[in-house]
Amino acid sequence: MARLDGKIALITGGARGIGAAHVRRFVAEGAKVVFGDLLHDRGAALAADTGAVFVPMDVTKQDDWTNAVRETVNRFGGLNVLVNNAGILRYRLLADMTEEQLRQVLDVNLIGPWLGVKAVVEPMKASGGGSIVNTSSIEGYAAAAGLSAYAASKFGVRGVTKAAAQELGRFGIRVNSIHPGGIATELALDPGVADGVGIDPDAFFKALPIPRWGEPDDVAGAAVYLASDESAYCTGTEILVDGGLLSGPGY
């Protein structure tokens, strides 16, 4: 028996990177999957490859959430799992960041997941409960220069997760968060990202207790656990997927 047999999942930001790894792993583990993204061509290609259902989706828009949830329930008869994965990363020093840039990061990374949690409460109640998996970051624990907006959004996701876990437990809805470290995605490997913080990323990751970049599938494994009944007594839980980065100083 696959670990997610009988589960119906909605995944945001699913067309590439960590989100695409979630889609592939959830399908492989037996879930019925709907995923949203702004990348229409890549979303359609992944849907054709996996059998998952793609819906165009901007997580900052309430109407897009309503449509994605409706599509999931109409297509599969319910909704058990939400993976709030969509996010953006912007490196800007405080002095150089505009208010518009700040609000863009907060809208996608924090308001988007909040809208998602709100959107799935009633369908999850109707399905007898469910699991919400929110993607935060190690930047939700310890911020870095140039990441004030990103860190604020990811600290915020931790708070939303804890509050929602308190509110929704009585309905059988669990709410947990994943905190990836450096994961080898297109976004993280963009040379402009490393230039923004002035580090040699390869040297940095070789110094970790697990001396490598993380892979998207490393994060997908944590999401499968939190979505499955294996984590039935976990809510408000935070899972680090960071290669030991936050375990302490390296020597």
CB neighbour class for 92 (10 Å; exposed up to 12, middle 13-18, buried from 19): middle
H or E segment to which residue 55 belongs: strand 53-56
Q: How far is CA 109 from CA 96, 135, 136, 169, in A?
A: 20, 9, 8, 23
**β 8-12/81-84 pair status:** parallel
CA angle 225, 234, 133 (to 5 degrees): 55
Catalytic residue among 141, 150, 233, 251: 150
CA separation for the pair 226, 208 (Å, rounded): 25
Token reading at 169? 């437990």
Does 150 participate in catalysis according to the annotation? yes
Q: Name the residues annotated as catalytic.
A: 150
